[in-house]
Amino acid sequence: MTDQTTPVIDITGLHKSFGALHVLRGVDMTARAGDVVSLIGSSGSGKSTLLRCANLLEDSQQGEILFEGEPVKWRGTGPSRRPADALQVQRIRTNLSMVFQQFNLWAHLTILQNVMEAPVTVLGQDKAEVEDRARRILDKVGIHEKCDAYPAQLSGGQQQRAAIARALCMEPRALLFDEPTSALDPELEQEVVRVIRGLAEEGRTMLLVTHDMRMARDLSDRVVFLHQGLVEEEGPPDELFNNPRSDRLRQFLSHSQAA
């Protein structure tokens, strides 16, 4: 049983390596219900890897991950560490819906079918109820008229909004966004930012890996700056962007503003 003080996601001392490459070197991160936490940092700093470890899409070698106070069960240690309970992994993943940079929609399904697929096949929910929910969500993200279209018939911004609708249809406890706008041109990017802003205003719990400093500043309750696999600095966006403490964050922000 959880309460409002129990974090939705609580990560402590997380380490992740790919062979000899030590990507995460002991990361701590917490997201409570209703938090919007943005992860920023240069390419290779570990942002996307941290998100994928939180969702158990990647196996970490050390550290703890708790979902609503429940620790992930592990077997083995170091490079051989794996989740010990497949049902727990499935339950956590369905409650931490991921939105990827490249949309990952099924090309052979219509947009409506894409949004309905996981609740019906993974969760076993009633098809008529899921369809009603899917149509309402597609209306929320502004593409209800594209229900019967296929992904290839949509713009990039529309495809990403369909991917967000697919994540929302799982009714997750948190949404995880991995660079959701980086594959889009500026005009289409703003379509997606408006949807994410609306979700933030609803009080959705979100982890957001982004290169868009304006979005991180405007939408976040807390910003986490990763550098070389460690949390270099974190705090409220006004504090982080207006008064960075570390030289590395100041350098990163100056380059981001110049780009």
What's the rounded mean pLDDT across residues 128-134? 98
Q: What is the arithmetic mean of pLDDT over 16-21?
A: 95
Mean pLDDT of 81-95: 95
pLDDT on residue 165: 97
Domains along the chain with CATH numbers? 9-258 (3.40.50.300)
The reported pLDDT for the residue numbered 102 is 87
Q: Which residue has the higher pLDDT, 97 or 186?
A: 97
| Model pLDDT for residues 197-253, shown as the tens digit of each residue | 999 999 999 999 999 999 999 999 999 999 999 999 999 999 999 999 999 999 999
- What confidence tier does 256 reach under pLDDT thresholds 50, 70, 90? confident
Q: What is residue 69's predicted lDDT score, i.e. its pLDDT?
A: 96
Q: What is the pLDDT at residue 4?
A: 62
pLDDT at 2: 42
Q: Per-residue pLDDT tens for 156-196?
A: 999 999 999 999 999 999 999 999 998 888 888 999 999 99
pLDDT band, residue 1 (cuts 50/70/90):
very low
pLDDT tens digits along 207-218: 999 999 999 999
- What does the mean pLDDT of the chain come to? 94
2-7: average pLDDT: 70
What DSSP line would sit under the chain, residue for residue? Answer: ---TTS-SEEEEEEEEEETTEEEEEEEEEEE-TT-EEEEE-STTSSHHHHHHHHTTSS--SEEEEEETTEEPPEES-GGG-EES-HHHHHHHHHHEEEE-TT----TTS-HHHHHHHHHHHTS---HHHHHHHHHHHHHHTT-GGGTTS-GGGS-HHHHHHHHHHHHHHT--SEEEEESTTTTS-HHHHHHHHHHHHHHHHTT--EEEE-S-HHHHHHH-SEEEEEETTEEEEEE-HHHHHHS--SHHHHHHHHHHHH-
Q: What is the pLDDT of residue 81?
A: 97
Report the percent of the chain where pLDDT is more than 90: 90
| pLDDT, position 39 | 98
